[in-house]
Amino acid sequence: MTKRPRLLFLSLGGTITMVPDAGGGITPKLGAAELVASVPELADVAEIEAHSPYRLPSPSLEPGQLVEVAKAIEDAFAAGIDGAVVIQGTDTIEESAFLLDLLVADDKPVVVTGAMRGPETAGADGPANLLAAARVAASAEARGLGTLVVLNDEIHAARFVQKAHTALTSAFVSPSLAPIGLVAEGRPRFHARVPRMPTVPSYGGPPRPVALLKWTMGDDGRLLAALPGLGYAGAVIEGMGAGHVPAEAAPHLGELGRRMPVVLATRVAAGPVFTRTYGYAGSEIDLLGRGLIPAGILSGLKARLLLGLILRGGGGQSTAAAAFANYQ
């Protein structure tokens, strides 16, 4: 008889754990052991060790808590666990998954999942997502791919996945790449493999505070001067198009870049920030010439997390530029 792999299930809360509350609505109540028990087929996939470090709606999760989750996963891997499944609310899955992708260096699979519908809702997707996530985490093919997100039977790479709808079970997409695989007929099928990016130590503490600003038509940048005084260690700017702002805002961004690392991302859902196409005032060439760092393929949400981790321990402009060079 083939020995089943050993998986660690960590539940952080979210819709998948929520049941009706006396005050109205649904709130996180179920733990990891209860979720595992609700899907008997999991016993055929792996031996599962289940823990519930948090029972929170995902908007209340903090990056520092995900750093602790990464440490728990690394400790479990060192003790012989073969893969990990992290269960949480879908609102912040794309951020949590990217943090784990940056923090967990082991090649063993890490899979993040959740649900768009509560367990008492008709058509609840939680059980199917848990089973699919376990099958991916238990598969040899998932090794070396970094952290993956599995929902709706689709397998997404953490650096590309985004939540794109507030209600549908098909809410998660990877606009720049498409899913790298799917779970069908009870097994994962991978269509593509993405290379691992360099990781950062999980023991370095939570990310430093980084501001995230989305640029809008007519914004003159008056908020920028306030950021250093508010305690931010860096900033990420989601520019228009391929990385652009109004001409009058460019000098203000250059001044901010002299006081803290500033990363230029795009507010567009897919595609890289440009580096050498547009040359007018406020364009990407102008802004990079003023010291801003291009985010490459990373969204503003993910660029913020990478910058915050890089700035731990006194890292600065050059350290940040080197980290983002991997995503160009």
Domain locations in the chain? 6-190, 208-327
Which has more confidence, 313 or 286? 286
How many CB atoms are located within 10 Å of the residue 184 CB? 10
| DSSP assignments along 18-48, one per residue | EEE-TTSSEEE---HHHHHHT-TTHHHH-EE
Active site residue 121: no
Max alpha carbon distance in the chain (Å)?
70
CATH for 208-327 is: 3.40.50.40
Helix (H, G, I), strand (E, B) or coil at 206: coil
Share of the chain above pLDDT 90, in %: 93
pLDDT band of residue 27 (cuts 50, 70, 90) is confident
pLDDT digits (tens, 9 = 90+) for 223-248: 999 999 999 999 999 999 999 999 99
- Taking the model in full, what pTM does it have? 0.96
Closest to 154 in 3D by CA, of 196, 101, 100, 112 = 112
pLDDT digits (tens, 9 = 90+) for 145-203: 999 999 999 999 999 999 999 999 999 999 999 999 999 999 999 999 999 999 999 99
| DSSP assignments along 283-315, one per residue | SHHHHHHTT-EE-TT--HHHHHHHHHHHTGGG-
pLDDT band of residue 55 (cuts 50, 70, 90) is very high
pLDDT digits (tens, 9 = 90+) for 83-134: 999 999 999 999 999 999 999 999 999 999 999 999 989 999 999 999 999 9
Q: What is the pLDDT of residue 5?
A: 97
Which is the catalytic residue, given 15, 17, 90, 113? 15
Q: What is the pLDDT of residue 269?
A: 95
Q: What is the pLDDT of residue 1?
A: 55
Strands 154-157 and 147-151, by their bridges, are: antiparallel
Burial 201-211 (b: 16+ CB within 10 A, else e): bbeeebbbbbb
The C-alpha atoms of residue 231 and residue 223 are separated, in whole angstroms, by: 14
pLDDT digits (tens, 9 = 90+) for 60-93: 999 999 999 999 999 999 999 999 999 999 999 9
How many CB atoms are located within 10 Å of the residue 143 CB? 12
pLDDT digits (tens, 9 = 90+) for 254-268: 999 999 999 999 999
Q: What is the pLDDT of residue 43?
A: 96
Residues with Cβ within 8 Å of 313's Cβ and at least 6 positions away in sequence, in order, are: 204
- Whether 40 has a pLDDT exceeding 60, the answer reads yes
CATH superfamily of the 6-190 domain: L-asparaginase, N-terminal domain (3.40.50.1170)
- Whether 19 has a pLDDT exceeding 90, the answer reads no
Euclidean distance between the first and the last CA atom of the chain, given in angstroms as a whole number: 47
Residue 235, strand partner residues = 211, 262
